[in-house]
Structure formats: C-alpha cells, structure tokens
Chain A
C-alpha cells in the first residue's frame, strides 16, 4: 500500500532562515515522489519530482529534496525562506508498478508560515 506521512502540520520560520518540511512514505514498489505547493486561492503546482534518477532533486524557487530509501524519507528544504514561500506544501507518492500504478497519493499537507 502507498501512503505519505507529513510529520508537521504547521511550520513557522523567519525570513532568511532555512526551511525543512518532513515527509516519510510507504510504498510497495519503487516509488516516484513529488512535492506540490498550494498558495492561497491558487491551484496546486508541482514543485519538484523524484523518479529514480539523482537522489537529490532541485525544484523551482530554490527548493530541493533528497530521496533516502533507507529512511523512506523525502524531506523538502530551502536554505533561505522568503515571504512568498508561505503556502501549503504536499508530499505525494506514486507507485511505478502494481495495481495502483500511476495513482498519486497525497499527504495531509504542511502549512508554512514565514515571519518578517
């Protein structure tokens, strides 16, 4: 079975400080992993994706994530937060084999607040 656990429902940081949003996944097969971002009154937008190439993945707006199979983790990081990063972030897993091939499973989301 596929599932995603986002370990924090809310994260608050000051502008200019690092961001860490934690995600653990469960997958029966080799997963594809994604982070999506949702700004207020906007549609979900793909931030970055891991599909079995390099384990360190770079996305838009300076975000990156590292796939760690031994820890079943795919944490999202950014060295320096900006006010415009305030949004809700979703970790997503997709199996690349099996009966649920291709279906996306979303975590519950982490609300990121950035203080000036």
Chain B
C-alpha cells in the first residue's frame, strides 16, 4: 500500500524477552520517526532518522532500546530484556523532511506491545 506499514500489529511477550518491531515508510520519505504511546497518554518521541543515520535518539528511554535503518528505508526498533513498563503502542511515522519544518508526519497504525 501507499501508507506507512508497521508489523506486527500486536505482539505479546514475556518479561525479559527480546522484541523487534518493523516499520516500512512511505516510498521516498527520507525522514523516519518512532514514537511511543502509553495508555491514556499522547505519543512521545523516541528517535528520528534522516536517511540511514539517527539524527536524534535522545528520546530513547534507556540502553535496552535501539533502532536501525540500514538502507535508509525500512527501520527496526529493538527492545532487549523487555519490562512490563515497555507495554505501549509503538508508532512509526515518515515525512519528506524534518518534522519541525512541516509538522506533517504520516503515521502507521502502530504496533501494540504487551509485556506479561
């Protein structure tokens, strides 16, 4: 399809396990973002890629979280040693340029992560 695609849509895992969440942005978008939305909260910024490099990863909560975008298109968010507090909807978005310039991000439907 033409939109941002995220897989899996739902992921249930056990505490301590490793999880990967995938994002396939809109073709041609150079900027890619990960946000996290906890229950009852608005999305919170995690990391921003411009091309292959992480331009701003200051939103990652700790070193258990890591993201890559090796070819400047698909991105993977990796969470090690998951904790119950990591349960949230992880949102991916892409855009033509820096989010602050246009404000228009195109969001996927999210990956709902539940850590038991």
Contacts and interface: CB of A to CB of B under 8 A. Distances in A.
Are A and B physically bound partners?
yes
B104 A42 contact: no
Q: Which one of B42, B48, B107 has the greatest number of beta carbons of chain A within 10 Å?
A: B42
Nearest to A107: B42
A106 B44 contact: yes
Contacts, number: 63
A34 interface: yes
A96 B103 CA distance: 11
Interface of B: 3-4, 35, 40-45, 48, 56, 59, 91, 93, 98-110
Contact of A96 (B59, B100, B107): B100
Given A46-B103, A104-B103, A105-B45, 14 more contacts: A32-B103, A41-B109, A42-B109, A43-B4, A43-B107, A44-B43, A46-B105, A49-B103, A49-B104, A90-B42, A92-B103, A94-B100, A95-B100, A106-B44
Interface of A: 4, 32, 34, 41-46, 49, 51, 90, 92, 94-96, 101-109
Contacts of B108: 43
A27 B67 CA distance: 29
Contacts of A106: 35, 42-44
B99 A108 contact: no
A-B interface, 7 closest residue pairs, ranked by CB to CB distance from nearest: A102-B100, A106-B42, A43-B107, A44-B107, A34-B103, A49-B103, A46-B104
Nearest to A44: B107
Contacts of B45: 103-105
